[in-house]
């Protein structure tokens, strides 16, 4: 069985999608449609923009989404998924790939999500850090200890065995990194992100996104979508919507998702989108 997976924020690079735009009429049409929907030429930033411009959440999220979805749609007959999954933002790409959302509706939701998250980040300075070489339970316990002391920190991304990203307030992340290093983490690396994604600090963004998702029509996907919040396959549109809303403040259970996809028969994983981060994670999970 074939699994197709879609990356999240952080996979962007200057020049992304330019080859597709220049060689595929379908890609060009979809990119131009995206420019119209967004009200600015995101293609100019994707193709020629600086890394700094691409790092803006309001640009990054639609840019990665567009590259991922258009890559999949341009594969024609080669794109025949038996199951799909996306990492964080990538879940919206998976929705289009599976037929649960139209291209137009998904892009509008991605942009609404990006703007809501940007606003939440500005309300309270926060960040994330990658923790390498510690057991999940140890990380969870230390995060809970720091949070109990008044600084929110949670496990946000279970990327693969031995690699978990934590998310929280600036002081919380600093304290947690110190404690996790003392506990034996090989590395505790602060990430250059604008906020504490997949943590309770995204609650204001979650409320905004919920309204947009509830107002959008979802369809029954043509194959199961393994969703971040519970790592399980879903085909019920109402369940899919609820999980997409919950995703903003819940951890991305990527390790568990990949293991469940393999248990359900996935033999090959194809990554659609910029970079090959997920391909590397799948290799470590297998």
3-class secondary structure, 12: coil
CATH number at residue 175: 3.30.70.250
**Active site residue: 67, 68, 87, 88, which one?**
88
- Given 198, 199, 234, 257, the catalytic residue: 198
Per-residue confidence (pLDDT) for residue 194, from 0 to 100:
76
Domain end (from 190, 220, 236): 190
Verify that 52 and 85 share a domain, yes or no: yes
182 and 100 part of one domain: no
Report residue 74 as tokens. Answer: 């341009």
24 and 160 share one domain: no
Per residue in 12-25, pLDDT (tens digit) is: 999 999 999 999 99
CB atoms closer than 10 angstroms to residue 267: 10
Q: Give me the mean pLDDT over the 266-284 stretch.
A: 96
Tens-digit pLDDT profile for residues 3-54:
999 999 888 999 999 999 999 999 999 999 999 999 999 999 999 999 889 8
Annotation says 88 is catalytic: yes
CA pair distance 94, 163, nearest whole angstrom: 23
Residues 225, 114 share a domain: yes
Same domain, residue pair 93 and 186: no
d(CA 47, CA 53): 11
pTM, 2 dp = 0.95
Q: What counts of helices (H) and strands (E) characterise the chain?
A: 13, 9
The mean pLDDT of 99-112, rounded to a whole number, is 97
pLDDT digits (tens, 9 = 90+) for 193-222: 778 999 999 999 999 999 999 999 999 999
**Number of domains within the chain:** 2
What is the spatial order of strands in the sheet that 187-190 belongs to? 153-160, 163-169, 126-132, 187-190
Write the burial class of residue 14 (CB in 10 Å: 0-12 exposed, 13-18 middle, 19+ buried). middle
**Residue 147: domain span:** 126-190
């Amino acid at each position: 069985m074939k699994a197709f997976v879609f990356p999240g924020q952080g996979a962007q690079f200057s020049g992304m999608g330019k080859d597709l735009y220049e060689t595929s009429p379908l890609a060009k049409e979809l990119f131009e449609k995206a420019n119209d929907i967004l009200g600015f030429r995101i293609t100019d930033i994707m193709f020629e923009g600086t890394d700094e411009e691409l790092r803006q959440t309001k640009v990054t999220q639609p840019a990665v989404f567009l590259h991922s979805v258009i890559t999949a749609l341009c594969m024609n007959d080669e794109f025949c998924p038996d199951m799909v999954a996306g990492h964080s933002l990538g879940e919206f790409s998976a929705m289009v790939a599976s037929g649960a959302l139209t291209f137009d509706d998904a892009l509008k939701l991605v942009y609404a999500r990006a703007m809501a998250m940007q606003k939440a980040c500005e309300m309270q300075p926060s960040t994330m850090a990658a923790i390498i070489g510690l057991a999940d339970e140890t990380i969870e316990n230390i995060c809970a200890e720091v949070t109990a002391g008044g600084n929110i920190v949670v496990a946000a991304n279970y990327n693969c065995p031995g690699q978990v990203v934590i998310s929280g307030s600036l002081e919380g992340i600093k304290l947690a990194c110190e404690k996790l290093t003392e506990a034996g983490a090989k590395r505790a690396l602060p990430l250059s992100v604008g906020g504490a994604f997949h943590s309770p600090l995204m609650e204001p963004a979650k409320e905004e996104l919920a309204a947009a998702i509830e107002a959008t029509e979802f369809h029954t996907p043509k194959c199961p979508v393994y969703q971040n919040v519970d790592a399980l396959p879903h085909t019920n549109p109402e369940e899919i919507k609820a999980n997409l809303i919950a995703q903003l403040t819940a951890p991305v259970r990527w390790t568990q998702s990949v293991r469940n996809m393999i248990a359900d028969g996935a033999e090959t994983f194809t990554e659609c989108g910029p970079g090959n981060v997920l391909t590397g994670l799948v290799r470590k999970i297998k």
